[in-house]
Amino acid sequence: MSEWRVLPGVDAEAAARFADLDAVFALEGEIVAKDSTTRTVRVEVGGRRYYVKRYHGLGKKPLRRWFGTPRVQLEWENLQRFADWGIPTARLVACGLESQGGLFARGALITEEIPATADLARLAREGAPSQKSRSWWHGVSTQVAEIARRMHTRRFAHGDLKWRNLLVDAAGKAYLIDCPSGGFWWPPFLEYRIVKDLACLDKVAKRQLSRTQRLRFYLDYAQKRKLDVADKRRIRRIVGFFAGRDEEQESAESLRAGGRRLLVPCTVALEGGGELAIERWLRILPGKRLTGVGRWNGRTVLAKFFVAKRGAERHWQRECRGIDSLKAHGLPTPALLASGRLEGDGHFVLTEYLDSAQCPSATAAGELATVFEAVGRMHARGILQEDVHLGNFLLAGGGLHVIDGDAIRPARSGRACLGNLALLFAQLTPADCRAWQAALLAAYRRGHPGPALEAAQLEAAIARAREARLADYLDKCLRDCSLFKSARRADRFFSMLREEADFLAPLMADPDAWIEQGISLKRGRSATLALVELEGRKLVIKRYNIKSAVHALSRAWRPSRAWHSWVEAHRLRFLGIPTPRPLALIERRLGPLRGRAWLISEHCEGPNLQERLAAENGLPPGIAEAVRRLFARLAEARLSHGDLKASNFLCSGDELCVLDLDAMRRHDSEAAWRKAWLKDRARFLRNWPEGGAIRREMEAALPPA
């Protein structure tokens, strides 16, 4: 069931664009805000700009599907209340939601832009000239006090009354926005909610305003000339509301407790009374280490924070020793500017920030050669980088810099250097490693002209390092880490690329709805495929269906086919074998039991192999070479596909892209792979008539049986 309405007085052109919920969810515009459940875009219609806020899920509280009013409905109802109470707010243009079987599915609301406005938090952060005017502050403060008073006298609390939700226009008029958490309260709970609202306002005010200005705000709010005993008691509660939970400056304890969702900009208190303003986070290992870019003593620096409850001091000391060791051996590394302790049992290291620096590319032989030469110089000087990978080197200012002093160790033997070099080679795909090995070894020798390396030992060490990296990577793709966002809940399991999490949020909330509105590619009993478009990107959603009760029972106790496809797609891409980039896996769960599952991948353009060869009398040389290359790589990795239909290969450029991986297997023994390969080979050749030219040439291109 869908409920959607466009309010009276809306421009005709806008009313046509916002006609129904499907049209609203298809709108494209500038993304101004997004999180796991909402996405706000700004669109322009008829010379006016509108904000479209779309709710596509319920986050970590699935019970809201059954109980309570959806947040989107609360938000549009609260905006209407503000307008009725005379509180300046954004004009509501349209709103509505959709439910399926009585459960919330999606919803949206549209507001008209308030021209020439900025939120108070942004004005405070940027130090706007208007903030230097006491009269401007007094006018805004009086209006905000009146807004808060009008809500609270009606027993209504905003729930998120922060400076970012207060807009101010060029004339100094204040507006209140964004209120999905607001609601009515009765005593004694009302007083707590009022204190929370006022404490949210005071949290930023205490850094921007004087004590006199803050007191004047409260007197305006209470409409009094003097404070009485009850007012003083309430002010003490307001000032102490966030004590120990959200202080003005971050400490090691707050950084440790913040998880991955640490806000920026923020200020971190350093040893000796100094402070560092963090502008953005580069990497977060929750509760352990954080890396960010910030301003310290008027210069841009790279900051590393060690905040783990155990081992923080040890890793901090290693970082400092590693940087000193690199400098002592004449290896370029960013300069160490400061280091010390953080408040709350933690440590920090500040180093020079290399502007416009980038990591060497794994596909650029010239950049790789500089890395291998640098590693050779490290080994020649008796040190190595324990966790050597391309992310620990930066190209800047025409040279290569070594970073991550925490991983610098003494090279205690030639065997340790050999293993370290093999680990660096293992960062490359097997094909690139073979193609460039001689040139990269020559670059390594320029840095370390020591004893000759035995080829057999190096090859064996590379194979071991690659296997270890692959096992670690496949383990990561099914758990929450820096690369992947994953969660295991009572009703579902999902894993997705962390960098794509916000982008994929609408699809993750309801993949079936997107399948229905997408372009159907396949509608079978076992699987359903649809091509969908989100923010200009084409994606493919594959749903693995449950065909019957018996099928459901057989699949309930083992990983789904989507699970297998997700793992094998990451295996292929790790090995440099073309396959569409996997973005997300979803499994429906009932406790330990598994049900329907979905796989979301990027769309790969091009015809499938059957379509490409339909009009050919023979096998084109480019296709023959692509077939040889692909099956040689699969054989080297001992991988069998299990369903080698020609339609499961896409011709993308000069490569064959492998699809439908749910039956793919990696075999531990040569004998097991050989047996599976014979079946794969026979199935692949059956795509073309026996005795035909294409089949004969395919037999010649494939590895022997």
Residue 78 near residue 151 (C-beta atoms within 8 A)? no
Q: Residue 653: is it exposed, middle or buried by C-beta count within 10 angstroms (0-12/13-18/19+)?
A: exposed
Beta strands in 245-360 (DSSP E): 266-269, 275-285, 289-296, 299-306, 336-342, 346-352
Phi, psi of 260 (to 5 degrees): -85, -15
**Percent with pLDDT over 70 in the chain:** 96
- At 203, is the pLDDT very low, low, confident or very high (cuts 50, 70, 90)? confident
Lowest mean pLDDT among 156-165, 570-579, 603-612, 616-625: 616-625
Per-domain boundaries in the chain: 2-112, 117-239, 252-352, 365-476, 484-602, 609-701
Q: Considering only residues 397 and 467, tell me which one the structure prediction assigns the higher pLDDT.
A: 467
What's the mean per-residue pLDDT of the chain?
90
- At 246, is the pLDDT very low, low, confident or very high (cuts 50, 70, 90)? very low
Cα dist from 80 to 77, 84, 178, 179, whole Å: 5, 6, 12, 11
What's the CATH code, domain 365-476?
1.10.510.10
Beta strands in 286-326 (DSSP E): 289-296, 299-306
Residue 621: its pLDDT value, please?
87
pLDDT tens digits along 296-338: 988 999 999 999 988 999 999 999 999 999 999 999 999 999 9
pLDDT exceeds 60 at position 61: no
Query: Cα angle vertex 165, ends 159, 170, to 5°?
Result: 150
- Write out 79-144 in H/E/C secondary structure: HHHHHHCCCCCCCEEEEEEEEECCEEEEEEEEEECCCCEEEHHHHHHHCCHHHHCHHHHHHHHHHH
Domain 117-239 and domain 484-602, same fold? Reply is no
Q: What element of type H or E holds 317?
A: helix 312-328
- CA separation for the pair 372, 417 (Å, rounded): 12
Average pLDDT of 269-280?
A: 83
Q: Say which residues have a Cβ less than 8 Å from residue 227's Cβ, sequence separation at least 6.
A: 218, 219, 235
C-beta atoms surrounding 273 within 10 Å: 6
- Using alpha carbons only, how large is the chain's radius of gyration in Å? 30
Enter the tokens of residue 68: 């309570």
Q: Which CATH class is domain 609-701?
A: mainly alpha
Query: Does the domain formed by 117-239 have CATH 1.10.510.10?
Result: yes
Q: Is 207 helix (H, G, I), strand (E, B) or coil?
A: helix
**Percent with pLDDT over 90 in the chain:** 63
The phi-psi region of residue 235 (left if phi > 0; otherwise alpha if psi is between -120 and 50; otherwise beta) is alpha
- CA separation for the pair 291, 282 (Å, rounded): 6
Homologous superfamily of 252-352: Phosphorylase Kinase; domain 1 (3.30.200.20)
- At 64, is the pLDDT very low, low, confident or very high (cuts 50, 70, 90)? low
Tokens 């004339």, located at residue: 171
pLDDT exceeds 90 at position 653: no
- CA separation for the pair 352, 368 (Å, rounded): 24
Tokens 């040389």, located at residue: 621
Average pLDDT of 506-532?
A: 90
pLDDT exceeds 70 at position 608: yes
- Write out 433-478 in H/E/C secondary structure: HHHHHHHHHHHHHHHCCCCCCCHHHHHHHHHHHHHHHHHHHHHHCC
- 484-602 folds as Phosphorylase Kinase; domain 1 (3.30.200)
Q: Report pTM.
A: 0.76
Residue 543: its pLDDT value, please?
95
Average pLDDT of 562-574?
A: 96
Average pLDDT of 440-460?
A: 91
In the chain, the amino acid numbered 653 is G
Tokens 């005795």, located at residue: 691
C-beta atoms surrounding 132 within 10 Å: 9
Q: What is the DSSP string of 3-41?
A: EEEEPTT--HHHHHHTSSHHHHHH---EEEEE-SSEEEE
Enter the tokens of residue 228: 């009485």
- CA separation for the pair 696, 700 (Å, rounded): 6
Residue 134: its pLDDT value, please?
84
Cα dist from 703 to 73, 93, 656, 681, whole Å: 61, 64, 16, 9
Q: Which CATH class is domain 2-112?
A: alpha beta
Average pLDDT of 560-574?
A: 96
Q: Which residues pair with 6 in a beta bridge?
A: 94
Average pLDDT of 507-512?
A: 87
For the chain, helix, strand, coil in percent to 5 are: 40, 25, 30
Residue 517 near residue 532 (C-beta atoms within 8 A)? yes
Q: Considering only residues 124 and 194, tell me which one the structure prediction assigns the higher pLDDT.
A: 194
Tokens 């705000």, located at residue: 217
If we measure between CA atoms, which residue out of 159, 39, 160 comes closest to residue 109?
Answer: 39
- At 229, is the pLDDT very low, low, confident or very high (cuts 50, 70, 90)? very high
pLDDT exceeds 90 at position 575: yes
Residue 235: its pLDDT value, please?
94
- At 245, is the pLDDT very low, low, confident or very high (cuts 50, 70, 90)? low
Q: Residue 367: is it exposed, middle or buried by C-beta count within 10 angstroms (0-12/13-18/19+)?
A: middle
